[in-house]
């Protein structure tokens, strides 16, 4: 129902601070169109795209592409969703937005704003392998029902050290966590300590441990993107 996952959209002012971070991590820039009113850049690590936008927004957005958006807005209302914005006029680039029960904003666009990314296998992604968008969910059951209604499927769940569920569909994996944390992107990697040492040597704000860590698994948190964190786990999460 949502269409296809496009990007994790982050507000960044100035853009330079965030794109310097992503380039240090091994993300590569993608060409973008001029369809959006705000200046923006897109970075890609072979799996997930992060959009940096020079604009005001409350927090990171999970952004999908859904053709036929004008008709689809009616279907969303029939599900009982309240749209936070609705730009569907003939002279606008069509988009709509709404939030999940935990406050995570979701945006649907009529069309892509950049081409699909290609990845050079020799490129080095310091974070490791992306495996989920990690989202806080004060009411895990309500948030899970919301995303399942929109077409995602629960693929894993647990209750250590907090309740969580992982859902997949529409080109994205979403981790809902019943714990106080910032929304973020989670990665699996080997040699975690060496990666953290590299990031610290680059002057990036990194600390060992995350609010999401479970089963004694080594982990680290990298800050630097507005309103979001990057979570790094030693290989092995469910």
Write out the chain's pLDDT in tens, 238 residues: 789 999 999 998 888 889 889 999 999 999 998 888 889 999 999 999 999 999 888 899 999 999 988 888 888 888 888 899 888 887 788 999 999 999 999 999 999 999 999 888 888 889 999 999 999 999 999 999 999 999 999 999 998 888 999 999 999 999 999 999 999 999 999 899 999 999 999 999 899 999 997 666 899 999 988 889 999 999 854 4
Three-class SS state of 148: helix
pLDDT value, residue 80:
84
pLDDT value, residue 35:
83
pLDDT value, residue 215:
61
pLDDT value, residue 15:
87
pLDDT value, residue 77:
85
Q: How far is CA 235 from CA 74, 129, 168, 219, in A?
A: 43, 9, 19, 9
pTM of the model: 0.94
Residues contacting 124, CB < 8 A, separation 6+: 26
Query: Residue 186: which of 153, 211, 169 has the closest Cα?
Result: 211
pLDDT value, residue 237:
45
If you search the block for the tokens 């969703």, which residue do you land on?
Answer: 81
> How far out from the chain centre does Cα 78 lie?
26
CA atoms within 13 A on the CB side of 139: 9
pLDDT value, residue 128:
93
Q: What is the number of other CB atoms lying within 10 angstroms of the CB of residue 225? A: 22
pLDDT value, residue 235:
84
């Amino acid at each position: 129902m949502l269409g296809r996952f496009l990007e994790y959209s982050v507000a960044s002012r100035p853009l330079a601070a965030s794109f310097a971070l992503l380039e240090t991590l091994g993300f590569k820039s993608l060409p973008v169109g001029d369809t959006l009113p705000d200046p923006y850049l897109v970075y890609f690590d072979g799996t997930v795209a992060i959009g940096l936008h020079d604009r005001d927004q409350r927090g990171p957005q999970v952004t999908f592409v859904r053709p036929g958006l004008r008709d689809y807005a009616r279907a969303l209302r029939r599900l009982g969703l309240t749209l936070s914005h609705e730009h569907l006029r003939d002279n606008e680039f069509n988009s709509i937005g709404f939030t999940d029960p935990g406050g995570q904003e979701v945006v649907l666009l009529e069309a892509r704003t950049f081409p699909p990314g290609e990845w050079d296998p020799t490129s080095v992604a310091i974070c490791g392998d992306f495996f989920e968008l990690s989202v806080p969910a004060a009411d895990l059951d309500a948030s899970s029902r919301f995303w399942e209604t929109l077409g995602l499927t629960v693929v894993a769940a647990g209750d250590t050290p907090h309740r969580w569920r992982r859902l997949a569909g529409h080109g994205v994996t979403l981790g809902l966590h019943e714990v106080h944390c910032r929304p973020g992107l989670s990665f699996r990697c080997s040699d975690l300590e060496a990666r953290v040492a590299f990031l610290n040597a680059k002057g990036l704000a990194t600390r060992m441990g995350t609010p999401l860590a479970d089963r004694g698994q080594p982990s680290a948190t990298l800050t630097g993107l507005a309103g979001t964190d990057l979570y790094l786990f030693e290989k092995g999460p469910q």
